[in-house]
Amino acid sequence: MNERVHTWLVREGGRLRPVDLVVLDPPRGGLSRALICALARLMPERITYVSCNPATLARDLKWLLARGYVISSIVALDLFPQTFHVETIVKLRRASELP
């Protein structure tokens, strides 16, 4: 069965707790608001976000930071030299978690 991640998380997310780590690698359009909300309800301790689009990454980080996450680290990788493409990996943790 194929379905959107946020649809599955809304239905099954309550059975997944506690969640230590979620790894995100969305398409260039980034995360949907529904998925951000589903992730906030899931409350993973850590999130690793891999992005190929700095604009949607910035938008999604704004949403995640507003929902109680802080940035632990950011790394930019030039996987395609001499092009404008950059992959960015951001590690986030819940603000209540000790460093």
Catalytic residues: 52
The 3-state secondary structure of 8-74 reads HHHHHHHHCCCCCEEEECCCCCCCCHHHHHHHHHHCCCEEEEEECCHHHHHHHHHHHHHCCEEEEEE
